[in-house]
Amino acid sequence: MSSRSPATLAASAGCALTLALLAGCGGAAQEGIEAKTPAQILAASQVAAEAAGSVHVAGAILNGGSPITLDLSLLAGGGASGRLSQNGVAFEVIRTGNVIYLKGSEALYRQLAGPSTARLLAGRWVKVPVDGKNFQSLAALTELRTLVATTFANHGVLEKGSLTTIDGQSVIAIAERGGDGTIYVATTGLPYPVQVVGGGASSGAVAFGRWNGPVPLTPPTGAIEIGALGARR
């Protein structure tokens, strides 16, 4: 197992999503979007995603040979709950405003604080500020607007694929020439991104759903404040 902290894991996940997603600029969401150009479709999808109040993101990606899984519900304005894992080391995360709570196994805390402290923290919730050292990437991953802005950052030459369905949702495929990634955009209702399939160094698939659904956030009781822990690697 690699010696990456949750912050590094989150940064890798964000990077992989960025490589997989394709971007556009400007545009309005509307029916009949499949008739538009690839750039217009992605532009409309970005607008829809940025205006959403919440989303659920789940999937598995391979980044630099390291398998990463994520299962997160994100709330606009700095709220999130779910799980992340890398190479089999998983942790739970809850974000409420400017505070992030983490809970993981001894293996997770060993990466952060060494073996002796890890034994004491195993299975316990710990509390860190979103601007804490080494946790800023995790903070970005748990904020809906920031994640959308990051993942719709850059693209190469785009090609429009055929209409298909994913979990009963009609979608249009937009691919980046060269096989670096494909995004499937809803063609009914608002043009939300439905699924992203990565290519090249970011293989895997990530699904987006439950747009504007409820995201219950309950801060855990008895969390240990370890603001200085992020500086210990």
How many CB atoms are located within 10 Å of the residue 100 CB?
22
Give the model's pLDDT for residue 20. 43
Q: Which residues contact 226 (CB under 8 A, 6 or more apart)?
A: 113, 121, 126, 127, 128
Span 82-94, pLDDT tens digits: 999 877 889 999 9
Query: What does the DSSP assignment read for 152-196?
Result: TS---SEEEEEEEEETTEEEEEEEETTTTEEEEEESSSS--EEEE
d(CA 91, CA 12): 15
Residue with tokens 């008739």: 35
Q: Is the pTM of this model over 0.95?
A: no
d(CA 228, CA 140): 19
Mean pLDDT of 37-61: 94
Span 174-226, pLDDT tens digits: 988 877 788 999 999 999 999 988 876 668 899 999 999 999 999 999 898 87
- Nearest Cα neighbor of 194 from 204, 179, 209 is 209
Say yes or no to pLDDT of 101 above 70.
Answer: yes
Give the model's pLDDT for residue 134. 65
Percent of the chain with pLDDT over 70: 78
Alpha-carbon dihedral 5, 101, 205, 144, rounded to 10 degrees? -120
- Nearest Cα neighbor of 198 from 82, 86, 59 is 59
Say yes or no to pLDDT of 81 above 50.
Answer: yes
Give the model's pLDDT for residue 26. 36
CA-based R_g, the chain, Å: 18
Give the model's pLDDT for residue 154. 65
Q: Which fold has domain 6-231?
A: outer membrane lipoprotein receptor (LolB), chain A (2.50.20)
Q: Which residue has the higher pLDDT, 135 or 46?
A: 46
Q: Which of 89-98, 128-137, 155-164 has the lowest mean pLDDT?
A: 128-137
Alpha-carbon dihedral 24, 185, 207, 130, rounded to 10 degrees? 30
What pLDDT band is residue 147 in, cutting at 50, 70 and 90? confident
